[in-house]
Amino acid sequence: MMRIIPAIDIIDGKCVRLTKGDYSTQKTYNENPLEVAKEFEANGIKYLHLVDLDGAKSNHVINHKVLNDIASKTSLNIDFGGGIKSDEDVQIAFENGAKQITGGSIAILDPKLFNEWLSNYGPDKIILGADSNNRKIATHGWQKESKVDVVEFITDFEIKGVQLVICTDISKDGMLQGPSVELYKEILSKTGVSLIASGGITTIDDLHILQQIGCEGAIIGKAIYEGNISLKELREFIKNQNN
């Protein structure tokens, strides 16, 4: 069974999408993220990927009130990321209703601190964000690129206890041209992590492919907002998995 995880990205408290992580491509879809979250919930969706894009740029959590609003007024299981760089940020995220947090840049910039979170909160609470461009891990809200290969990055952290990984191919993000299936196959063949695919998912067929190769979850953003995948289709996909 593969989890369906819609994404809500937040700038200035609004639901937006970027293309390839470029802030100049911002498109606002709804000024009230709670409305969007409630619509997801009404269609049988149980999970939400909430990203604080202001936080990612500023290196500390900013949109925690949006997190609190959604967490307190829906029953969605929220994983929260963007700008989580300190113990205080982690505390803010969990206190405001996040079930899990995603750390990406911090795992490169301060692996010792990330590993402490993994140890303190447990591998079911801490997700490794493996965001890559041309296979190289990106940091700082995707504004900078490291020299670390994405598969090596995931392998190294799996040894340290990571079980859940969100892998985004930035070149695919927001392009509506399909996900990085070959990259995901490689990760799944070389590691034992539970892999959540993110970036480029365009049609319901993409979800079937990701399910077939063994992804634990799939994050869907622009395809929902642009109408390429309807909530009805997602509802049917979830229902068919449960039968």
Query: Cα 186 from chain centroid?
Result: 19
pLDDT for residue 239 is more than 90: yes
* pLDDT digit string, tens, across residues 150-174: 999 999 999 999 999 999 988 887 7
Domains in the chain and their CATH numbers?
Answer: 3-242 (3.20.20.70)
* pLDDT digit string, tens, across residues 45-100: 999 999 999 998 899 999 999 999 999 999 999 999 999 999 999 999 999 999 99
How far apart CA 16 and CA 29 sit, in angstroms, is: 6
Q: What percent of the chain has pLDDT over 70?
A: 98
Which residues carry out catalysis? 9, 131
> Bridge partners of 165?
128, 195
Find the largest Cα–Cα distance for the chain. Answer: 44
106 exposure class (CB count in 10 Å sphere: 0-12, 13-18, 19+): buried
Determine if the pTM surpasses 0.85.
yes
Query: Cα 239 from chain centroid?
Result: 22
- φ, ψ dihedrals at 215, nearest 5°: -65, 140
In this predicted structure, what is the pLDDT of residue 119?
Answer: 97
Q: How many residues does the chain have?
A: 243
